[in-house]
């Protein structure tokens, strides 16, 4: 323990943790790792404490048994205000402030963190990772350490946020004790060069291959010094400003466009898209976001505590008959609700442009609405753009782009990661919907579908089994 006296263990009642609330409800304690900065300051992952009314801290022990625990009430720990339990690694850090200072000894002590200007840019540098992770899915929770190397940017292209999170590899997964396992979360990543904390373990990529993910500690020094000074990002849109936006949640394993990409994901994993409220019973969205699904969920009033979720079956979803995956044209669908929505200050509709409206002025400004990920947090936002003419879109997208039916605009990646698919594009001249975002590609060109050419289809009454289509 004298070699790892700065390592602590964390116990929390699993049933309360945000990260596990939908998975485990039994009366049991989750185990994480942490590190000691001072006699009263301890750092760990946010997902190890967020939501818990209390936690336990254990120090100075090689085996994290449930004894000699220090109970810490909720008021004495804080997690980063931008932490999002649904996004792995997003601002996943917490600070615990003990009421009674620790007694430092040969087996209990502190460790320093690197300075703010420290750069993690040497892929050959070796670090040491510490944790109480469980080996082979069994106990005891024995403190271990293993050396690791960073993975370069090229090799970590699957990282959720390459600016905020880094991957490292450890030893041979077949050798007991050389890999990162459940329970190592929150543990310190220590430089072998200067002996200081350079990162905090936040997740593992499976239990084989010795691969883990950590947060560079330099990004969180302000939070560590004073958590109260780090303010959460305000919601860009008020409920009233977003009252005509709905969310569409669906299991990707059903979707024609995504089922292969998400075949190995948990059966409960869902994707979220956008929809547009046209009336008390009509929701407009992209065809690829519902095509193939036996049912989807429509969420309205999502920015308030009165959020409402409505289950919609396939029979209530009308997909344009000319839509064909993987094509982008006619990528439109209309959902008809069985029970009308109750319109109020926070739930309402928006008008469509007239059939003769032309998107032919490249200088015209329009506003795009939808969910976007900014600083690791999904937020409902809007931003102004200028659309590009057909020739420019064609030159960027080639055969993927049908200039007769689609248009595009350039998205500034500094504004976040665009997830506004299915969201409306609204004219700043008449405040009506002129288009709907369909998809985006890596060079930040976003494709949208003009509404006017599809107006007849959108406004066509739904034809039931016993009704004849009027000619």
Q: What pTM did the predictor assign?
A: 0.56
State residue 75's pLDDT score.
92
Query: What pLDDT score was predicted for residue 208?
Result: 44
Token output for 243: 């009252």
CB-count burial class (<10 Å; 0-12, 13-18, 19+) for 281: middle
As averages over each run of 10 residues, the pLDDT of the chain (471 residues) reads 93 83 62 95 95 93 79 93 76 94 96 89 80 69 84 45 62 59 89 92 62 85 90 72 92 86 72 92 94 94 85 96 89 96 94 84 79 66 78 76 82 62 89 88 73 92 46 37
Peptide bond into 435 cis (omega under 30): no
Round the average pLDDT of the chain to a whole number and report it.
Answer: 82
pLDDT at 361: 67
Walk me through the domains of the chain, giving residue ranges and CATH numbers: 1-231 (2.40.10.120), 233-463 (2.40.10.120)
Q: What angle do CA 163, 164, 166 make, to 5 degrees?
A: 90
Note the pLDDT of residue 286. 94
Per residue in 15-35, pLDDT (tens digit) is: 888 777 655 555 677 889 999
Grouping H, G, I as helix, E, B as strand and the rest as coil, residue 159 is: coil
Q: Is residue 331 packed enough to be buried (19+ CB in 10 Å), middle (13-18) or exposed (0-12)? A: buried
**Residue 142 forms beta bridges with which residues?**
63
Q: How many CA atoms lie within 13 A of 373 on its CB side?
A: 16
CA distance 46 to 69: 20
Report the pLDDT value the prediction gives residue 172, as an integer from 0 to 100: 57
Q: Single out the residue of 378, 375, 162 nearest to residue 273, CA to CA.
A: 378
Q: How far is CA 389 from the centre of its chain?
A: 33
Give the residue from 114, 69, 73 showing the smallest Cα distance to 97: 73
Model pLDDT, residue 120: 72
pLDDT score at 66: 63
pLDDT at residue 232, rounded to an integer: 66
Tokens of 285: 């969205």
Which structure tokens are listed for 244? 């005509």
Helix, coil or strand: residue 29: strand
Helix (H, G, I), strand (E, B) or coil at 327: coil
């Amino acid at each position: 323990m004298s070699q790892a006296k700065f390592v602590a263990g964390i116990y929390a009642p699993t049933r309360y943790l945000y990260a596990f609330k939908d998975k485990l409800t039994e009366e049991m304690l989750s185990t994480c790792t942490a590190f000691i900065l001072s006699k009263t300051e301890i750092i760990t992952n946010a997902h190890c404490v967020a939501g818990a009314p209390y936690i336990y801290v254990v120090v100075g022990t090689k085996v994290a048994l449930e004894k000699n625990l220090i109970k810490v009430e909720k008021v004495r720990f804080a997690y980063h205000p931008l932490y999002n339990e649904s996004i792995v690694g997003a601002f996943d850090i917490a600070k615990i402030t003990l009421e009674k200072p620790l007694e430092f000894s040969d087996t209990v002590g502190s460790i320093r963190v690197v300075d703010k200007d420290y750069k993690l840019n040497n892929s050959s540098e070796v670090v040491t990772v510490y944790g109480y992770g469980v080996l082979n899915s069994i106990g005891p929770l024995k403190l271990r350490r293993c050396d690791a190397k960073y993975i370069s940017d090229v090799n970590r292209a699957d990282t959720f946020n390459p600016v905020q999170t880094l991957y490292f590899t450890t030893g041979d997964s077949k050798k007991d004790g050389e890999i990162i396992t459940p329970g190592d979360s929150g543990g310190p990543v220590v430089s072998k060069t200067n002996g200081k904390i350079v990162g905090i373990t936040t997740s593992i990529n499976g239990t084989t291959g010795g691969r883990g993910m950590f947060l560079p500690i330099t990004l969180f020094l302000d939070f560590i010094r004073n958590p109260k000074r780090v303010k959460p990002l305000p919601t860009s849109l008020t409920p009233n400003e977003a009252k005509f936006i709905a969310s569409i949640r669906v299991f990707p394993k059903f979707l024609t466009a995504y089922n292969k990409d998400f075949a190995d994901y948990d059966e409960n994993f869902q994707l979220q898209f956008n929809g547009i409220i046209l009336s008390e019973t009509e929701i407009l969205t992209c065809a690829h976001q519902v095509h193939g699904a036996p049912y989807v969920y429509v969420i309205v009033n999502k920015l308030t505590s009165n959020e409402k979720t409505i289950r919609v079956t396939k029979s209530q979803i009308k997909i344009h008959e000319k839509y064909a995956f993987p094509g982008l044209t006619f990528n439109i669908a209309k959902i008809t609700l069985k029970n009308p929505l109750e319109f109020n200050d926070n739930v309402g509709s928006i008008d469509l442009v007239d059939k003769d409206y032309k998107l032919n002025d490249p200088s015209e400004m329009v506003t795009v609405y939808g969910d976007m990920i900014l600083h690791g947090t999904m937020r409902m936002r809007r931003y102004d753009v200028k659309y590009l003419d057909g020739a420019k879109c064609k030159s960027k997208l080639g055969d993927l782009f049908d200039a007769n039916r689609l248009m595009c605009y350039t998205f500034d990646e500094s504004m976040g990661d665009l997830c506004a698919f299915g969201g409306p594009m609204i004219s700043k001249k008449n405040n009506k919907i002129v288009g709907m975002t369909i998809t985006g590609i890596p060079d930040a060109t976003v494709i949208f579908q003009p509404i006017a050419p599809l107006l007849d289809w959108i406004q066509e009454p739904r034809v039931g089994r016993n009704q004849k289509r009027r000619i």
